[in-house]
């Protein structure tokens, strides 16, 4: 199980995302910088224990209406070969030292574990507590075994993960809408929970197959 360290990060994750988010095609903020707070999310374990995997729901309140963004992140102790285009930034971790943060859709470790979660072969973990399953994360899929790799592509609505050797596409909803359901006809889905500005909790699909 991943260990959550109570320590410092310089810069913080939200500081990195404040610069990175406006460069994404699915970001719908204005000319000013986003004003971000962590609203929810969960973690997955790397079987090798080397890569941190986090799915963060970040709330942007800079515009007239709050917008939630789903941001899968991986944290590594060294650069990921061939992934410079997916680098969110680097941080200094008070325990682990320098960490490279990546858009996890382009990190094969996150993709493999995300597909395993969709199939029910791994358990989502609490975002901020060590060794604690997150039972609010729900998944549904009953088809054949999915490939373990995919190619990611962004568009204005989110990110598509095109599964290797398959016609299936896993769409990550980068702007999950509170209270919505998985689209009719989807082969599978993953739903998560986050907190709205008024303190209420809501859920929506984070990904659909």
What ranges do the domains of the chain cover?
A: 9-208
Instruction: Measure the CA–CA gap between 157 and 69, rounded to whole angstroms.
Output: 11
pTM of the model: 0.94
> For 130-184, what is each residue's pLDDT tens digit?
889 999 999 999 899 999 999 999 999 999 999 999 999 999 999 999 989 988 8
- Helix, strand or coil for residue 11? coil
3 state SS for 13-39: HHHHHHHHHHHCCCCCCCCCCCCEEEE
Supply the pLDDT for residue 97.
Answer: 74
CA distances from 151 to 15, 161, 181 (A): 27, 5, 25
Contact 71, 158 (CB under 8 A): no
Instruction: Measure the CA–CA gap between 116 and 94, rounded to whole angstroms.
Output: 31
Instruction: Measure the CA–CA gap between 124 and 137, rounded to whole angstroms.
Output: 7
Q: Give 10-residue mean pLDDT values along the chain (209 residues).
A: 67 96 94 94 96 97 94 97 97 84 98 97 91 94 94 96 96 94 91 95 97
């Amino acid at each position: 199980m991943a260990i959550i360290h109570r320590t410092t990060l310089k810069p913080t994750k939200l500081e990195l995302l404040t610069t990175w988010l406006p460069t994404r095609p699915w970001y719908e903020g204005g000319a000013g910088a986003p004003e971000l707070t962590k609203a929810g999310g969960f973690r997955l374990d790397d079987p090798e224990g080397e890569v941190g995997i986090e799915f963060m729901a970040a709330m942007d309140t800079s515009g007239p209406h709050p917008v939630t963004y789903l941001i899968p992140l991986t944290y590594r102790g060294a650069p990921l070969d061939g992934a410079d285009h997916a680098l969110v930034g680097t941080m200094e971790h008070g325990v682990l030292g320098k960490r490279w943060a990546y858009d996890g859709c382009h990190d094969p470790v996150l993709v493999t574990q995300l597909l395993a979660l969709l199939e029910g072969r791994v358990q989502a973990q609490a975002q901020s507590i060590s060794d604690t399953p997150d039972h609010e994360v729900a998944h549904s899929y009953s088809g054949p075994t999915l490939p373990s790799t995919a190619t990611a592509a962004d568009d204005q609505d989110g990110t598509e993960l095109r599964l290797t050797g398959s016609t299936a596409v896993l769409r990550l909803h980068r702007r999950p809408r509170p209270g919505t359901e998985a689209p009719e006809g989807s082969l599978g889905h993953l739903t998560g929970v986050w907190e709205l500005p008024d303190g209420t909790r809501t859920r929506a699909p984070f990904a659909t197959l």
